[in-house]
Chains A and B, each alone.
Chain A
Amino acid sequence: MKTLVLFIWKHSFFFLFLLLEGAAALLIVSNNNYQRSSFINASNGFTASILSLSNTTTHYIGLIKVNEDLANENARLRSLLPQSYMKFDTTKYEAIDSVHQQLYHYQHAEIISNSFQKRNNYLILNKGKKEKIKPMMGVITSNGIVGIVKDVSRNFCTVISVLHSKSALDVKVKNNGYTGTLVWQGGDYTIGNVHNIPSHVHINKGDTILTSGNSSIFPEGILVGTIQDFSLNPGANFYNIDLKFSVNYNKVKYVYIVDNVVKQELIELKNTMDDE
């Protein structure tokens, strides 16, 4: 026993090093877990409030572009208002009200910290538990998708960006409806990859890729990007598709958090399926 203590004491530098690396590994593992939010995370109040302070000082730089985007989006939304449609049959219009149930709720949020240059990127938004934000909600902008909410604190939430090694989103080709999986292989933040589109499907450069709505996180038909290039290895069953993201993740500033009202119901239903 005495020799053991002496041994540890003699190599205390090495053992302390191991101890600290162990602590770091524990933090990494607990934080990488998708479902459970860990004790220490970037959405905690202190660090987020410093980032938010720095954000207010750099706020004004991109304002022209932001205004332009907002004006464009206003114009688009205005065209969707009931007043923008011609009504041919009043009774039918009223019938729609009782048949349709609200499926997705949107809340606007501001990005207070953004990263796009790492292999695994996260964002922090200025909405949290106070605004009833929950993990696994989708985050989109006016012209594309951004990511999925991970941890939520009182005033802030962290978002796993599309630019993340674990990000895998259900997408579809607009022309023919075939679905695939969107991943990001690192490097260029303007290019993503689409897998699992079968080789017999006819696709072209410039085809639009939309969300498929299968995951119930994002609504169906949100723009993701366009096909920049594609190839087919001899004998392969699926295309390799390079996708140009419609969002410039370097410039994005304002986003919408999407809440699927019936998602809980869907998840419970899926769970009963898994149990059997």
Chain B
Amino acid sequence: MNKLLLINIARFIILVLLQVLIFNKINLGGYLNPYIYVMFILLLPFETPKWLLLFSAFFIGLSVDLFSGTIGMHAAAATFMAFMRPTASRVISSKREFETGILPGINDLGITWFISYSLLLVFLHHLFYFYLEVFRIGEFFQTFMRVIASTLLTTLIIVLLDLLFKREKH
């Protein structure tokens, strides 16, 4: 259990640094902003107490906010995403996920499950975040295109990152 805690703390720090030092500077065609730090919330163990899920999402959002000058916005979007996570994992059901010791990820639950799980939650996060950032209804479709395109890009990067750290099965 302690090892899990350390892994998650390390993941928190690494993902925040990756986000603010590299991915915040990526801009493809003026529309695509990958927010890969949400991977932290995706990969938290299923056994995480619900209050801890919300708090850790709030704080990783706030950390990214502090570096991006968007105080409160990522915190709000990440908290919303964490709130939707139990529902999402119920909707995208898998036979194995409620066994103890199973972690969300390609390793334990397979690539199809992980892609649909990430796509759904990343989409909810981006939807919340981009509309909060724009905050006007007049740019509805323009913003929606940004949400869709950025969701696809973020999910692609998250899946690739997860594949990169895939353990060999014994």
Contact = CB atoms under 8 A, between A and B. Distances in A.
Contacts of B20: 50-51
A13 B79 contact: no
B145 to A, nearest CB: 10
Interface in B120-170: 130, 132-136, 139, 142-143
A119 interface: yes
Interface stretch (A26-34, A101-109, A135-143, A174-182): A26-34
B88 interface: no
Interface in A84-121: 113, 115-120
Given A117-B30, A187-B30, A25 B72 contact: yes
Contact of A20 (B55, B67, B135): B55
A228 interface: no
Chain B at the A interface: SS class? helix
A42 B76 contact: no
Nearest to A190: B30
B10 to A, nearest CB: 17
18 contacts: A12-B50, A13-B50, A13-B86, A14-B83, A20-B54, A21-B79, A26-B72, A40-B66, A41-B69, A42-B69, A113-B69, A117-B31, A118-B133, A119-B134, A158-B69, A185-B139, A186-B134, A188-B30
A27 B139 contact: no
Q: Which of A46, A187, A250 gathers most chain B CB within 10 Å?
A: A187
Contacts of B24: 115
Interface in B34-55: 50-51, 54-55
Interface in A40-58: 40-42, 44, 46-47, 50-51, 54
B68 A25 contact: no
A124 B30 contact: no
B100 interface: no
Interface of A: 12-14, 16-17, 20-21, 23-29, 31, 38, 40-42, 44, 46-47, 50-51, 54, 113, 115-120, 122, 124, 158, 165, 185-189, 250
B21 interface: yes
Contacts of A46: 66
Contacts of A38: 71
B67 A47 contact: yes
Contacts of B65: 27
A41 B71 contact: yes
Given A40-B66, A42-B68, A186-B134, A116 B27 contact: yes
B136 A165 contact: yes
Given A38-B71, A113-B69, A124-B69, 11 more contacts: A12-B50, A23-B58, A24-B72, A24-B75, A24-B76, A27-B72, A113-B67, A117-B33, A120-B70, A186-B139, A250-B27
B5 to A, nearest CB: 21
A24 B69 CA distance: 14
A188 to B, nearest CB: 5
Contacts of A47: 66-67
B113 interface: no
A13 B54 CA distance: 8
Contacts of B54: 13, 16-17, 20
A117 B149 CA distance: 14
Contact of B51 (A16, A25, A158): A16
B58 A119 contact: no
B76 A115 contact: no
